[in-house]
């Protein structure tokens, strides 16, 4: 098997012309598309409809070319879109393809991808042990499909889980961990991260439990990237790692950021790919870069290295929009690239107040 | 003369307790305060009242300790506050003091400061040749007061000019370059930057003219930092540079950023002070840092290195808030410091779509 | 011919299940749909993608039921969506159908509908005489199709015209009346309103000219309702009025609001339908109400009856969002109904600083 | 005793020139000022500094004229400012004065005012029984000072209680009902409303208890209006009602609104003063109006009369800003007046999803 990873610009969520052109030109076989991860120009919060819009647009395009129904496309391909391209960030989407006929090269491990879906999750499941456990099962299934045996070879697990409108929450009330739509979204991200940590054994036995959700922030995954949206109704799971069962020139590496200005974390992720920025990734390196996935959050303490930040009490701009803009600017500066998937809401995804940087690139020859 | 530069945290615009403690402890003589530049937790736009609030709070504090009236304090000391601490940025204010009795050291040039005020500017003056010329005169007067002879020794000119409410604009209508409050603010920043460029000869004779204001962006100052606010009614000018007439351990350096992700610009500014970040300024260097002033703006082309940004068409977050957050995150990552004066609206202040980084630090011994 | 007007709730722009159910139940023949006007949950500004999303969703639904392609549906049916359901307003869409086989009742005039499209409008046409004249022609064509002879029988002309992204504006630069996306949108609404006024002779010969666009606000239409969006590329025109060529129980009436708190305007529109609110439309009347279309704007003077408002200088909430919320609350209170099409940006649509209220209801029997 | 109530426009929170002129003209004796309630142009949320700014400005002005220190002025006079003049609302402040020398007229009851302060409230007290009970005691003390014996004569109790920054919350953590600054503000408003209800016996014995705070919304006060802000550290209480111990032409009346579009509630409040709107208060009546205080909130069900609203899940505009704009527009339309105190966060203040309208006016002669 051989994986490919291609980024496309997104002028608006109804315009996927760049991918259409690539399909028409024969560069991408739409039947080989196994996942799409993208950054849309919404606010990234509960009322962000750009995610659903792009999902609809892409499933129509792919269905048109494969002969599937759009529903079948959506059932087969996880579309994980995160809203919010604050500051210098650029709307885009990254297409993951798998060529199952490709022979395995003899050169060791190559980029490997697997996807899986949990059963449907109701509002009452969000943030609970059930979400943790079902997610862990889905991660293990996706690893199996990706033929990744060693959990240490999993470098990135992207999850998109359900969020709920006020109406859906009101209809379900009584059984929920929170009746606040935004809080429920955070609980879902947190439980999903615990599911990842449990699946790959990142945390001690018994730590990835409901009681620790949004409570013990020393328990975290270093590879989970979790988002939520009203446009999905289960946890969609994309596992990316390295496996000897795969061929191709791509590799993946990641590093945690200890806090929101830990620029060294970005350099550590680059080093994992044999790349270096001094202070910016030179053009040759930038051309090898296929995608960057960053999770980050406004520190709950209200401080970054002792100095107060205002993100948690700003009534005009949500904390997620603040932190995406800031960390996006920092990482874009190091990479010389603004088409990055920078996502807020990093509860239990990387160290508290910090985050995770994951990069996919062509190996140097 | 000997200048000092001290930063204080600002829990809220009514709380200048950190400075009060410093005065009480005898660390600062309030009669020696010649300028204050700060970053307040507002939106930085026309309806940002945190600037006026802090001005009132500080003038009361200083008046209480010097025996002046608050009005006399405000007439003597430029208070230049810029709202907007998006992302990781931290509200703070930087106090500039001058000890006129200090002897001149024999070791060459040291940090020098001078201030001046233009006559009152009416709404009809904003963006016009009159604002350019009066600003240039004030810059020259401030240079003279700072005993800086060589324009090449001026590294930073901070200006705060008047902004106008809808009411004030309506009352003045007819003579104005724009009846849009935000646009008028931009015109004022642009003309002020031209005034600086003209005073120090940064641009060719005849380039710093009204016809080029918000029109020819190849004409810019590399040292001007201009803000506006309804709380002032003239251009308040603070000139900072190096002069052999001054003593003390402080130095200033600056560099332009070619675009919003030109991280090398930050490194160039550090190099001007004999400092280096690899990738972050180490703790010893960070302790020497006294202040950082950054101007930046969302590129008018709608693109950063070819990739689209969304800052200019976001109806929910103003472009200035976007760019401050992004560039603030980048510079904070390099400096390991979040109490930075990052200000949007860099029209003719640095290259188009880019900006300026200015740093003040203790020289290494 | 016989027109029908039906409102449907919109849980999100991807969910038009209520209309689907109505089609499936045989209550609506999708081939009879001639126009859809709706209110989506976006910000209503340039970067509002909820309009395009709903357009895509509805054209797919209708195409599925009529056997047309989605493109053919969009070419045939004007989809006029305005973002922004601030305050109590409820997302919804109103479907206009025409049964061409229906016999003409003998009881006089009934609700009549006609649609037309201008040729494609380029960025350089926006706000210009060409947009005015092409719009006037399209209005006359739609009147003809609606068999409305007397201009006094036209009570509502809804127009959706093109808006442009920063990219599109940058590509077109030089020929444009403004390079500011929001300003260009306003110019387009204004010129469209002039086109309506010209077509029905509401203003003196020679008044509906480019020179008066966004300049002479004494020139206005009392029946135009104009919006813009990046999802259309010409002016889509929907004319609604009364005509003896039509049958059915529906009628339309309208009144201008002199300012944003002119509650009497709402009562005048009700009176035109033989209805009264005391102080709220009683339930029986509310059931007869089929749709309400309101245009409004923040007064350019910065004042409402002498008291200052803050809408024009708020850096956090756009003026259109402010005024929609306020006028929406007022009209909803009188009508006892929140599923109203309340749209900002009423340049030359109703008196300056005021607006227009248009109501469609079943006649009392 | 004789109370007076005067409204002044507020061009910005640093400009109280209208009151200054009134004091200078001898129209107001600053020593007679007992309370000020105002609406400032901030966002009305945790990071709204316009309230503190106006408090500072007013205490300076009054101190200057009375010879008190500003601190003494703040300890004597409750300054209750609520941010947020969304839509048509106009920034203003209402000054309450008491002339203790005035003789009692024989004509029955007149407007009566009393103020009181609770002891300091710590973060851990917010939302708790202690806040409820201390507030109830302060209300009873203020009633006593106002010489109102019958609880039925209390028509309005305005309370401003403490809010806390992220820093203050972090420092206090462990003992708090919520570590979310906005949620803690809501708990404080709710407990304060319970204190009022308990003091005047509006609810059954045992209903105004901590267990019901933000839980049983059938328990509410019909006269409480509660706000919070970081600028106060105890509950400041202003009781306004009718008492035979007072003289003067002023009266107060109030009514509840059952939901956010219950326009009849506004008419009921007018009727309590012998006034009527048809549909707007005529000019003669409007001139008699001295102040309007409105509490309102976005219904927790996500619906108004069955139709969905979007206020609770809007990531760009806080629900309080939405509802103030909508209800402000409605009430302004009925009263023909936009200088109204419209305040969100009506937890347990009026029926769930509704609110309270309170009016002060000169009696008709």
Global ipTM: 0.96
Residue A231 has pLDDT above 90, yes or no: no
What average pLDDT does the segment A201-225 reach? Answer: 96
From the list C39, C160, C198, C295, the catalytic residue is: C160
- Determine the pLDDT at residue C173: 66
> Chain C: residue nearest D322 by CA?
C87
Using CA atoms of D264, D269, D270, D276 in order, give the dihedral in degrees to the nearest 10. 20
Q: What is the pTM of this model?
A: 0.96
From the list B221, B225, B227, B247, the catalytic residue is: B227
CA distances from A273 to A224, A269, D159, D354 (A): 19, 7, 60, 59
Q: How far is CA B9 from the centre of its chain?
A: 17
Would you call B14 and D231 a contact, using CB atoms and an 8 Å cutoff? yes
| Predicted confidence band of residue D48 (pLDDT cuts 50, 70, 90) | very high
- Determine the pLDDT at residue B228: 87
**B303, B309 Cβ separation under 8 angstroms:** yes
Would you call D165 and B11 a contact, using CB atoms and an 8 Å cutoff? yes
Of D309, D317, D337, the CB nearest to C317: D317
- Determine the pLDDT at residue C103: 75
- Determine the pLDDT at residue D60: 98
Structure tokens given for C167? 């990219």
- Determine the pLDDT at residue D165: 82
More confident residue, A192 or A230: A192
Structure confidence by residue, pLDDT tens digits, B235-285: 999 999 999 999 999 999 999 999 999 999 999 999 999 999 999 999 988
Over chain C, what is the mean pLDDT? 95
> Chain C: residue nearest B230 by CA?
C313
Phi and psi angles of residue B253, each rounded to the nearest 5 degrees, phi first:
-150, 160
User: Annotated catalytic, C160?
Assistant: yes
Q: How far is CA D133 from the centre of its chain?
A: 19
Q: How far is CA A240 from the centre of its chain?
A: 10
Q: Which residues of A touch C230 (CB under 8 A)?
A: 12
Structure confidence by residue, pLDDT tens digits, B114-146: 999 999 999 999 999 999 999 999 999 999 999
User: Annotated catalytic, B227?
Assistant: yes
Would you call D315 and A167 a contact, using CB atoms and an 8 Å cutoff? no
- Determine the pLDDT at residue D266: 98
Would you call D50 and B52 a contact, using CB atoms and an 8 Å cutoff? no
Structure confidence by residue, pLDDT tens digits, C285-323: 899 999 999 999 999 999 999 999 999 999 999 999 999
CA distances from C118 to C203, C232, D279 (A): 21, 11, 41
Q: Which residues of B touch D47 (CB under 8 A)?
A: 41
The residues facing A154 across adjacent strands are: A241
Distance from C-alpha of D319 to C-alpha of C189, rounded to nearest angstrom? 29
What average pLDDT does the segment C128-140 reach? Answer: 98
- What percentage of residues in chain A have a pLDDT greater than 90? 89
- Determine the pLDDT at residue A107: 73
> Chain D: residue nearest A168 by CA?
D302
- Determine the pLDDT at residue A168: 86
- Determine the pLDDT at residue B103: 75
| Predicted confidence band of residue A200 (pLDDT cuts 50, 70, 90) | very high
> Chain A: residue nearest D43 by CA?
A315
Distance from C-alpha of D19 to C-alpha of D321, rounded to nearest angstrom? 27
Which residues are CB-neighbours of D41 under 8 A, at least 6 positions away?
A: B47, B49, C310, D10, D12, D13, D50, D83, D85, D91
Structure confidence by residue, pLDDT tens digits, C54-109: 999 999 999 999 999 999 999 999 999 999 999 999 999 999 999 998 776 667 89
Q: Which residues of D touch A303 (CB under 8 A)?
A: 167
What average pLDDT does the segment A58-85 reach? Answer: 96
Of B11, B49, B316, the CB nearest to D13: B49
What average pLDDT does the segment D214-232 reach? Answer: 93
Distance from C-alpha of D131 to C-alpha of D346, rounded to nearest angstrom? 17
- Determine the pLDDT at residue C364: 77
Interior angle at CA D171, CA D166 and CA D172, nearest 5 = 100
Residue B294 has pLDDT above 80, yes or no: yes
**B109, B153 Cβ separation under 8 angstroms:** yes
**A190, A213 Cβ separation under 8 angstroms:** yes
- Determine the pLDDT at residue D175: 81
Looking at the complex, report in whole angstroms how far the Cα of residue C67 sits from the nearest Cα belonging to chain D: 32
> Chain D: residue nearest A48 by CA?
D315
Q: Which residues of C touch D323 (CB under 8 A)?
A: 87-88
Would you call C329 and D334 a contact, using CB atoms and an 8 Å cutoff? no
What average pLDDT does the segment A267-288 reach? Answer: 95
- Determine the pLDDT at residue B191: 98
Structure confidence by residue, pLDDT tens digits, B47-94: 999 999 999 999 999 999 999 999 999 999 999 999 999 999 999 999
What average pLDDT does the segment A83-105 reach? Answer: 92
Long-range contacts of C126-129 (CB under 8 A, 24+ apart): C126/C161, C126/C162, C126/C164, C126/C176, C126/C177, C126/C184, C126/C187, C126/C188, C126/C191, C127/C177, C127/C178, C127/C184, C127/C187, C127/C188, C127/C190, C127/C191, C127/C210, C127/C213, C127/C214, C128/C177, C128/C191, C128/C210, C129/C209, C129/C210
Residue A232 has pLDDT above 70, yes or no: yes
- Determine the pLDDT at residue C339: 98
Structure confidence by residue, pLDDT tens digits, A156-176: 999 999 998 878 888 886 688
| Predicted confidence band of residue D365 (pLDDT cuts 50, 70, 90) | low
Distance from C-alpha of D237 to C-alpha of D143, rounded to nearest angstrom? 10
Residue C118 has pLDDT above 90, yes or no: yes
- Determine the pLDDT at residue D198: 98
- The SS3 of residue C268 is helix
Looking at the complex, report in whole angstroms how far the Cα of residue A322 sits from the nearest Cα belonging to chain D: 12
- Determine the pLDDT at residue A169: 86
Over chain D, what is the mean pLDDT? 95
| Predicted confidence band of residue C172 (pLDDT cuts 50, 70, 90) | confident
Distance from C-alpha of A200 to C-alpha of A207, rounded to nearest angstrom? 13
Structure confidence by residue, pLDDT tens digits, A28-64: 999 999 999 999 999 999 899 999 999 999 999 999 9
Q: Which residues of B touch C49 (CB under 8 A)?
A: none
In three-state form (DSSP H/G/I as H, E/B as E, the rest C), the secondary structure along B210-226 is: HHHCCCCCCCCECCEEE
- Determine the pLDDT at residue B173: 67
Least confident range from A243-247, C32-36, C165-169, D18-22: namely: C165-169
Residue B214 has pLDDT above 80, yes or no: yes
D interface with B, Cβ–Cβ < 8 A, is 11-14, 41-42, 47, 49-50, 52-53, 56-57, 60, 165, 167, 230-231, 316
CA-nearest of D279, A48, D324 to C328 is D324
């Amino acid at each position: 098997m051989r994986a490919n990873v291609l980024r496309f610009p997104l002028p608006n969520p109804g315009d996927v012309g760049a991918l259409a052109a690539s399909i028409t030109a024969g560069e991408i076989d739409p039947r080989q598309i196994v996942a799409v991860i993208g950054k849309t120009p919404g606010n990234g919060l509960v009322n962000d409809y750009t995610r659903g819009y792009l999902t609809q647009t892409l499933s129509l395009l792919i269905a048109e070319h494969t002969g599937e129904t759009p529903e079948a496309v959506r059932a087969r391909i996880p579309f994980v879109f995160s809203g919010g391209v604050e500051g210098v960030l650029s709307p885009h989407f990254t297409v993951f393809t798998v060529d199952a006929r490709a022979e395995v090269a003899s050169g060791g491990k190559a980029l490997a991808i697997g996807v899986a879906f949990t059963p449907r999750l109701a509002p009452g499941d969000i943030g609970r042990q059930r979400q943790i456990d079902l997610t862990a099962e889905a991660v293990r299934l996706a690893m199996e499909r990706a033929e990744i045996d060693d959990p240490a070879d999993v470098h990135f697990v992207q999850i998109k889980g359900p969020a709920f409108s006020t109406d859906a929450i009101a209809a379900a009330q009584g059984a929920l961990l929170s009746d606040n739509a935004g809080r429920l979204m955070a609980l879902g991200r947190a439980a999903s991260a615990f599911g990842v940590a449990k699946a790959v054994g990142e945390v001690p036995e018994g730590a990835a439990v409901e009681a620790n959700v949004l409570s013990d922030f020393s328990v975290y995954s270093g590879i989970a990237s979790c988002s939520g949206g009203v446009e999905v109704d289960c946890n969609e799971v994309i596992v990316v790692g390295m496996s000897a069962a795969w061929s191709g020139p791509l590799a993946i590496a990641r590093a945690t950021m200890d806090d929101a200005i830990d620029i060294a974390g970005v350099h550590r992720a680059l080093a994992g790919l044999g790349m270096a920025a001094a202070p910016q990734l030179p053009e040759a390196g930038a051309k090898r870069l296929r995608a960057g996935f960053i999770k980050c959050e406004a520190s709950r303490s209200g401080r970054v290295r002792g100095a107060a930040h205002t993100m948690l009490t700003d009534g005009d701009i949500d904390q997620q929009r603040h932190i995406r803009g800031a960390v996006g600017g920092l990482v874009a500066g190091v990479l010389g690239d603004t088409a990055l998937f920078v996502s807020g809401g990093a509860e239990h995804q990387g160290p508290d107040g910090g985050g995770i940087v994951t990069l996919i690139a062509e190996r140097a020859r």
